[in-house]
Amino acid sequence: MKETIKNLGIKFFLTSYLKYKYNHKKPSDFVNERTLEYPYILSELSRVKANKILDIGSGRTSFPSTLESCGYDITASDLKGSYYKMFHNHHIHVVKDNITRSRFSNESFDVITCISTLEHIPDFNVAINEMVRLLKPEGFLILTFPYQYDEFQDNVYELVDSNAYGNNSKFITRSYSDSEIHKWIDKHSLKKDKIAYYKGFEGKFWSTGKRINFPYWVDNKEVANGVCITLKKEI
């Protein structure tokens, strides 16, 4: 009986909360890079025909739940609390895990997705090491992050033409280059299986220059400031 009352209370709260959000929502002036990243990942999952997935940095998003509704065996994970003062995900259970010292077992997953999260992790090379450890042989690592092909930036928010310059953001946002990607590939015997470039800002780096209202794919990596990449773990 107590459990039934508890469930009814949770259901009422969530329904009221979602209704409040709907009635008080403010339309955005732009759509973000998820409009490119999510279709890329769905297409890749269909292409590689793998099922057991770990999503790193799920946050409050509904995307892991979408994968679950598609039939994938998905584990959503997040450090929790490092970005959000109060963490909650109304769509799926999120396992608390630090990808720089993950508690998941070796070779547990067919695919690991990390959507616009790697750039916020201080020890990003350690995070890559752990992702590779968790992947099964011939598994796939699907990453998306800010990118500029020939220059690494430790924190784009510190650039004077960044839209976050001077805002004292509580987290960093790196922009990776081909050099970092090649180092990951060489160190872990990975294979670049697919790569797609996109542009979300008019400037050279992510968050610099005017924001583009509708991010778009580009063929020329030299004008890109974002990337989606699929790396395969060789046997």
| Domains defined along the chain, listed by start | 31-233 (3.40.50.150)
Q: What is the pLDDT of residue 85?
A: 65
- DSSP bridge partners of 191: 232
Q: What's the pLDDT tens digit per position in 102-155?
A: 999 999 999 999 999 999 999 999 999 999 999 999 999 999 999 999 999 999
Predicted confidence (pLDDT) at residue 39 exceeds the cutoff of 70: yes
Q: Return the structure tokens found at 110.
A: 């067919």
Q: What is the pLDDT of residue 87?
A: 76
Residue 4: pLDDT band (50, 70, 90) is low
Instruction: State how far the alpha carbon of 29 is from the alpha carbons of 35, 103, 212, in Å.
Output: 14, 40, 10
Residue 190 near residue 229 (C-beta atoms within 8 A): no
Q: What's the pLDDT tens digit per position in 47-71?
A: 999 999 999 999 889 999 999 999 9
For the chain, what is the mean pLDDT? Answer: 91
Enclosing H/E stretch for 53: strand 52-56
What is the distance between the alpha carbons of residues 86 and 24, in angstroms, rounded to a whole number? 20
Enclosing H/E stretch for 38: helix 34-48
